[in-house]
């Protein structure tokens, strides 16, 4: 599904939403050595929807990490990595698999800013493919955003087109605070123009969803 990109993006290009996310992740890895990705099957396989395809080959298995099956552990280690100075981007493979990590997200990650009285930053992005419309079974087509949207200390964002997919993903990774990034599975293969030279102004507030 995706294309392996060797250079940081410039100009305008027509991509699918999934390719735009891949591009955003690759550009973040290329421009900030603190960024690393972890999740189930995101390395050699390139993710269930191939959104991370080619990134492990380009950046190595120490920055694109195939994590064990354990969502709580994926988020928990991301918290520790952030505290150690890294910028982790964690993928939960499917929306219905996020619940084992609920305590780590709501009771731990979202509260770290207040726990440390703002003295430490926890720039953790959690990528969560979500939503129905693709004919999937239970645990693979859920919309759990309401559980998280009312959680203080956690940004919950989404998008619906390739341009916003790129810029919202970049903004999430650049955020000093935790972000739950909801990726609409139904839109992964929808194509659109991405302008890499003109960022969306305040993408968390103005992206179309």
Q: Which residues contact 115 (CB under 8 A, 6 or more apart)?
A: none
Q: Which of 140, 150, 163, 187 is catalytic?
A: 140
User: Is there a catalytic annotation at residue 140?
Assistant: yes
Tell how strand 155-157 and strand 87-91 pair up.
unpaired
- Inter-residue contact 188 to 17 (CB < 8 Å): yes
Q: Which of 178, 20, 186 is nearest to 95 (CA)?
A: 186
Q: At what angle do helices 162-174 and 17-31 cross, to 10 degrees?
A: 30
Q: Which two tokens stand for residue 25?
A: 């992740």
Q: What angle do CA 22, 181, 177 make, to 5 degrees?
A: 110
Burial of 44 (0-12, 13-18, 19+ CB in 10 A): exposed
**Could you give the residue numbers annotated as active site?**
140
């Amino acid at each position: 599904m995706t294309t392996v990109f060797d250079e940081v993006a410039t100009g305008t290009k027509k991509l699918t939403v999934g390719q735009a996310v891949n591009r955003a992740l690759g550009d973040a890895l290329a421009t900030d050595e603190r960024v690393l990705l972890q999740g189930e099957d995101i390395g050699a396989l390139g993710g269930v929807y191939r959104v991370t395809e080619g990134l492990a080959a380009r950046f190595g298995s120490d920055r694109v990490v195939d994590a064990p099956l354990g969502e709580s552990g994926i988020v928990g280690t991301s918290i520790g990595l952030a505290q150690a100075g890294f910028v982790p981007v964690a993928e939960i493979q499917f929306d219905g698999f996020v619940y084992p990590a609920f305590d780590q997200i709501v009771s731990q990650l979202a509260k770290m800013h207040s726990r440390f009285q703002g003295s430490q930053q926890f720039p953790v992005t959690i990528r969560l493919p979500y939503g129905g419309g693709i004919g999937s079974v239970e645990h693979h087509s859920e919309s759990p955003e309401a559980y998280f949207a009312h959680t203080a200390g956690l940004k919950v964002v989404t998008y619906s087109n390739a341009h916003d997919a790129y810029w919202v993903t970049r903004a999430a990774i650049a955020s000093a605070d935790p972000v739950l990034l909801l990726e609409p599975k139904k839109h992964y293969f929808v194509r659109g123009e991405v302008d890499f030279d003109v960022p969306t102004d305040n993408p968390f507030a103005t992206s179309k969803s």
